[in-house]
């Protein structure tokens, strides 16, 4: 946002900040707004900003960590779905019924409960009625949903956009004041490089001003091999291409595109809004740009989350036979942080 626009939006940010302060104070004091605790391990992952910190791969990290020894349930709002209320994902569901992120969990992990509910409190109450009920609930994007008090709160912040360097909406991307990060038990700096110097680590630690009770960890993105888009038939991906067409509807595309540049000579991109619901018109646009790329050694790549939003017969039939792939991602931790983070999570669960 330009300097002039920031100045014009500043009064709105002040008003928005006042409303958020009043809301949080009501929860802190239990006035009108009351937080509910549950007799089950609830782990919340969230952020202070509007999207783009990597919540989805961190939820998947926790699923992999816990699913062999515990019955896991994920609980999301189901952003972008066309249904309402509480819902458990199952056969026949897609991104239109449960949202793209829950659909990704459902696609990859068949032995967990994947649930959505606008009200996290209602969602947890319904999950606890299941037989058998889950042992652990992972609450996706739950930092601002204060009607529920998680047993363990994990806050994510982007290495390239720390919450301490951001501003309140609409002048920045903060949903609430940076000082509210003190509600978190654990802070993870995400999307750092694979090499993290001790000096950089110390500098960021100093910038975040953590409280004595808070633990800090650093994670980075790792990528798996390209995978054919589910639901269509195409050749296995090549090791490199003359040209790649990349399209996505996610909040932050820079790590995705930066990584793919090593596999091609030229890279063209089409960006859609976050959680974009793809139409046949969008597919025609993508195909038109792809057909105009002057080389035979070319392919189309999208994100794993976008691949979930393409899983509809009306869309897939127009992609049949095209060289279209998605790029799965995972996260890893730096410098022994993984063992320490795992220990914090397991110690929390053992208390129950």
Q: What is the pLDDT of residue 352?
A: 80
Any bridge partners for residue 72, and if so which?
136
Q: What is the pLDDT of residue 2?
A: 65
170 with 250, same domain: the answer is: no
Pairing mode, if any, of strands 324-327 and 152-158?
Answer: unpaired
Q: What is the pLDDT of residue 335?
A: 86
DSSP 3-state of 221: strand
Q: For 195-249, what is each residue's pLDDT tens digit?
A: 999 999 999 999 999 999 999 999 999 999 999 999 898 899 999 999 999 999 9
Predicted TM-score (pTM) of this structure:
0.94
CATH of the domain at 245: 3.40.50.1970
Q: Is residue 11 part of a domain?
A: no
Q: For 288-310, what is each residue's pLDDT tens digit?
A: 999 999 999 999 999 999 999 99
Distance (Å) of CA 111 to CA 156, 328, 352: 26, 20, 22
Residue ranges of the chain whose pLDDT lies below 50: none
Q: What is the pLDDT of residue 11?
A: 87
297 with 213, same domain: the answer is: no
How many residues does this entry show for the chain? 352
Q: Which domain holds residue 123?
A: 34-222+333-350
Any bridge partners for residue 302, and if so which?
326
Any bridge partners for residue 197, and if so which?
none
Q: Is residue 275 part of a domain?
A: yes
Q: Is residue 49 part of a domain?
A: yes
63 with 204, same domain: the answer is: yes
231 with 320, same domain: the answer is: yes
240 with 149, same domain: the answer is: no
Q: What is the pLDDT of residue 10?
A: 82
Q: What is the pLDDT of residue 1?
A: 60
Q: Is residue 18 part of a domain?
A: no
61 with 135, same domain: the answer is: yes
319 with 343, same domain: the answer is: no
Give the number of domains in the chain.
Answer: 2
């Amino acid at each position: 946002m330009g300097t002039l626009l920031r100045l014009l939006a500043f009064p709105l940010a002040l008003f928005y900040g006042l409303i958020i302060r009043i809301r949080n104070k009501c929860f802190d004091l239990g006035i009108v707004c009351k937080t509910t605790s549950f007799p089950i391990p609830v782990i919340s992952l969230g952020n202070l900003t509007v999207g783009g910190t990597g919540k989805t791969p961190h939820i998947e990290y926790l699923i992999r960590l816990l699913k062999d020894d515990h019955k896991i349930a994920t609980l999301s709002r189901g952003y972008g779905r066309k249904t309402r209320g509480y819902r458990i994902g199952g056969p026949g569901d897609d991104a239109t019924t449960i949202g793209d992120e829950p659909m990704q969990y459902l696609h990859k992990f068949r032995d967990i409960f994947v649930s959505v509910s606008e009200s996290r409190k209602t969602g947890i109450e319904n999950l606890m009625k299941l037989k058998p009920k889950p042992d652990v609930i992972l609450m996706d994007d739950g930092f601002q949903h204060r009607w529920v008090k998680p047993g363990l709160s994990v806050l994510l912040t982007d290495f390239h956009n720390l919450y301490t360097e951001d501003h309140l909406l609409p002048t920045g991307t903060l949903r609430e004041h940076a000082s509210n990060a003190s509600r978190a038990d654990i802070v993870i700096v995400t999307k750092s490089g694979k090499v993290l110097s001790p000096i950089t680590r110390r500098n960021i630690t100093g910038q975040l001003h953590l409280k004595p009770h808070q633990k800090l960890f650093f994670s980075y993105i790792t990528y798996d091999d390209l995978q054919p888009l589910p639901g269509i038939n195409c050749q296995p991906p090549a090791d490199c291409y003359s040209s790649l067409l990349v399209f996505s509807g996610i909040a932050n595309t820079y790590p995705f595109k930066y990584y793919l540049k090593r596999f091609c000579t030229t890279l063209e991109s089409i960006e859609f809004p976050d959680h974009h619901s793809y139409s046949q018109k969008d597919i025609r646009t993508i195909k038109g740009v792809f057909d105009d790329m002057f080389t035979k050694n070319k392919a189309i790549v999208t994100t794993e989350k976008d691949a979930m939003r393409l899983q509809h017969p009306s869309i897939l039939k127009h992609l049949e036979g095209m060289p279209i792939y998605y790029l799965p991602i995972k996260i890893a931790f730096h410098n022994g942080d993984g063992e320490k983070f795992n220990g914090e999570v397991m110690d929390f669960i053992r208390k129950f």
